[in-house]
Amino acid sequence: MKRHAYRGTSFDIPANKKFRKQCGEYDSLIQFEECCHRALIKRYNEEKGKDHSLSFKLFTKKIATGTKVNLGFFDFDNYENSLYASYIIYPYGAFDCFIQDIIKDLKDFKINIKIDKQKGKGTKLSQLLKQLRKRGIDVRIEQFKIDLFEYYRLRRNSVAHMLPETTYISSFYKSVKSRHVVSETYPNQPNALTSYDKMTFDDFVVCTANLNIISDIITRTIEKNINWKKIGKSHPYWINYKKINAICSFEKQKKIDFVRKVIEGRYGVELSDELCESFL
């Protein structure tokens, strides 16, 4: 299914495009790492089948020596939990950048948002949604997606800042209550939300998919509240008026077509002649 089909619109904003691109590139890197990891496990099982006394610790040391990698301290008992938890650090860092970028994009739509960095003011996402609501932009995100966002956010903070399990246990159990809905929304990831102390690759997949959907819901909701005429009359900086006059001279229709092309390239939508004319 093409992206436009399930989104119901071709509208997009620079912040969402950037976030989706960053996540896509990082997903590919992690998928590569996971391919290597699974190949390594497969090889270990094959060698252990021939030598039942071979421990995973000795096997990895052998591999490290062969690849000339200095393998230091390694928690062999529960290493996958730490490995997969580390995978979600970058996506949340990228999402923080998305929040900053979307605030800049909103200014282009004459919508001013400010995030308070003081503790106790809520997450950047909750503040953004709250301030948008005050401005008549009601972004409706299903509660289980918000719960997932919060659990993986706290899980990410725990591994990034070496915080205890108590940081995220309650949020894990809150998400588990909706596990059947999570499975329906993000299918083919049966091992997600298995246990608070056992993250899996499926958790990474669900985490990044959830972040992408949340950013996209926000983007699509914003479109419904854009006053293109008001933006046009403000003569936005991203319209090169000198270029319009140089290329189109005094031909009005050419100017309108030029504006339409710029808007379509930036936001993915094709405006009517009337709306395009408001930019001139």
Q: List pLDDT tens digits, range 162-201.
A: 888 899 999 999 999 999 999 999 999 999 999 999 999 9
- Please say whether the beta carbons of 99 and 75 come within 8 A: no
- Please say whether the beta carbons of 19 and 215 come within 8 A: yes
**Segments in the chain below pLDDT 70:** 1-6, 75, 120
pLDDT digits (tens, 9 = 90+) for 67-81: 999 988 776 778 898
Q: Which residues contact 181 (CB under 8 A, 6 or more apart)?
A: 142, 144
CA distance 117 to 23: 24
Residue 4: predicted pLDDT: 55
CA distance 2 to 8: 10
Residue 72: predicted pLDDT: 80
- DSSP class of residue 139? -
CA distance 22 to 31: 14
CA distance 79 to 77: 6
Residue 75: predicted pLDDT: 66
Residue 120: predicted pLDDT: 66
Contacts of range 111-118, beta carbons closer than 8 Å, 24 or more positions apart? 111/135, 111/137, 111/222, 111/225
